Amino acid sequence: MEEHSSKIEKGQGLTNFESLSNLTTVQLADEAIALLKKLIAIPSFSKEESGTADLLRNFLESKGISTKRKLNNVWAQNLLFDSSKPTLLLNSHHDTVKPNSAYTLNPFEPIETDGKLFGLGSNDAGGCLVSLLSVFRHYYSQEDLPFNLIFAATAEEEVSGSNGIEAILNELGEISLAIVGEPTKMNLAIAEKGLLVLDCIAHGKPGHTARDEGDNAIYKAMRDIEWFKTFQFPKTSEMLGAAKMNVTVIKAGTQHNVVPGACEFVVDIRLNEKYSHEEILSVIKENVQCEIKPRSFRIKPSSISPEHPIVKAAENIGLKTFGSPTTSDQALMNFPSVKIGPGDSARSHIADEFIYVEEIGQGIEVYIRLIENYASLTQSK
């Protein structure tokens, strides 16, 4: 990895956009990796992120950066924040899922071996978080930025909780664009599927199996489940494809000789931008018999125009764009956003989660190139 000077590459910097950071990307990456190891060592399950929030705030304060905190969300503005300028938000999350039973390593012990850093949250989304924090530090005291920068390390992303980024959006002020850090192999997600979770109950009538009594709720549920399995929503998206439905949880019965009077199941629906939650729900209710209770309409699909300067900036530096099937805090943002970060989504939530160490430095470099190219395009308008 080459050291970063005041400009990234020929043609990628700005003539009047000199960095005031005294740190090279090598130094930033080294400090980012050290910070990530400390984050891994502190359990930070969703809704239980106080320890990592403390660590992140103390780290920023130790670098002379003033921070704010609400609940377990920590954020900071660049030194020369100017309310007359638009604001670019750099956001990622510091909560994790719980480790699954297939782990062979201690999920809270950061182990670096063969170029990999193992540990819970290393890939999703610790690598993104520390890389964006490093980029924020790089620009923190820079003069003549065409926009403000806010770095926000937020909580409860894995459970789409109301005490995560949603709790601080009003505190951040008007945001023109967000770069959301999630593991995408540093490709740019310009669209993201929304989420609708349904709790369903098929109602029957209990009875004794020997007397052939009752109305078996499992059989009634099976008819609806078959519909969920086979139905295809007609409107497809160029970036996100079709809306998808999967039955993921089922529960019924108490003992072998009792016909179950109720069968409960859960449906996970990933919707594209062609449908609202209400439209999806309306179609479902027209076709199934079970009782349906949607958990939330909060997790909306998102997309950004292919003509947006951040997309053009990504294309200028050779990044691939794609539509993401997974959800993130983008769903809670009411302003333009893109998703990009080091690591691989396929490694998220797996046993013995890891990120390649070199991905951290590469992520920092690509983020900086992307932001500088974006700045160039916005200044030229």
Span 266-286, pLDDT tens digits? 999 999 999 999 999 999 999
How many C-beta atoms lie closer than 10 Å to residue 298's C-beta?
14
Q: Strand 111-113 vs strand 87-93: parallel, antiparallel, or unpaired?
A: unpaired
Is pLDDT at 223 greater than 80 in this prediction? yes
Average pLDDT of the residues in 337-344: 98
What are the respective helix, strand and coil percentages of the chain, to the nearest 5?
30, 25, 45
Average pLDDT of the residues in 299-309: 94
User: What is the reported pLDDT for 176?
Assistant: 98
Is pLDDT at 23 greater than 50 in this prediction? yes
In this predicted structure, which of 11-20, 26-35, 88-97, 338-347 has the lowest mean pLDDT?
11-20
Is pLDDT at 10 greater than 70 in this prediction? no
CA distance 334 to 286: 31
The CA–CA distances, whole Å, from 190 to 177, 221, 267, 334 equal 12, 37, 26, 15
Work out the burial of residue 255: count CB atoms within 10 Å of its CB; fewer than 13 is exposed, 13-18 middle, 19 or more buried.
exposed
Average pLDDT of the residues in 240-247: 96
Residues in the chain, overall count: 381
Categorize the per-residue pLDDT at 8 as very low, low, confident or very high, splitting at 50, 70 and 90: very low
Is pLDDT at 99 greater than 90 in this prediction? yes
Q: pTM of this prediction?
A: 0.86
pLDDT tens figures, 60-85: 999 999 999 999 999 999 999 999 99
Whether 87 and 147 have beta carbons less than 8 Å apart is answered as: yes
Categorize the per-residue pLDDT at 13 as very low, low, confident or very high, splitting at 50, 70 and 90: very low
Rounded to 5 degrees, φ, ψ at 322 are: -160, 170
Whether 349 and 22 have beta carbons less than 8 Å apart is answered as: no
Average pLDDT of the residues in 163-168: 97
How far from the centroid of its chain's Cα atoms is residue 356's Cα? 19
Average pLDDT of the residues in 192-197: 95
Domain ranges of the chain: 25-192+301-379, 194-294
Residue 299 tokens, joined: 């997790």
Rounded to 5 degrees, φ, ψ at 69 are: -140, 135
In this predicted structure, which of 14-18, 150-154, 168-172, 240-244 has the lowest mean pLDDT?
14-18
How many C-beta atoms lie closer than 10 Å to residue 156's C-beta?
25
User: What is the reported pLDDT for 379?
Assistant: 82
User: What is the reported pLDDT for 188?
Assistant: 98
User: What is the reported pLDDT for 358?
Assistant: 97
Q: What is the dihedral of CA 360, 314, 374, 192, to 10 degrees?
A: -90
Residue 81 tokens, joined: 């924040």
User: What is the reported pLDDT for 24?
Assistant: 84
Average pLDDT of the residues in 12-16: 31
Report the SS3 class of residue 250: strand
> For the chain, how big is the Rg over CA atoms in Å?
23
Is pLDDT at 21 greater than 60 in this prediction? no
Average pLDDT, rounded, for the chain? 92
Please identify, in words, the CATH class of the domain defined by 194-294. alpha beta
Q: Fold match between 25-192+301-379 and 194-294? A: no
Average pLDDT of the residues in 349-372: 97
Average pLDDT of the residues in 174-179: 98
Per CATH, the homologous superfamily of domain 25-192+301-379 is Zn peptidases (3.40.630.10)
Buried b (16+ CB within 10 A) or exposed e, 208-222: eeeeeebebbbebbe
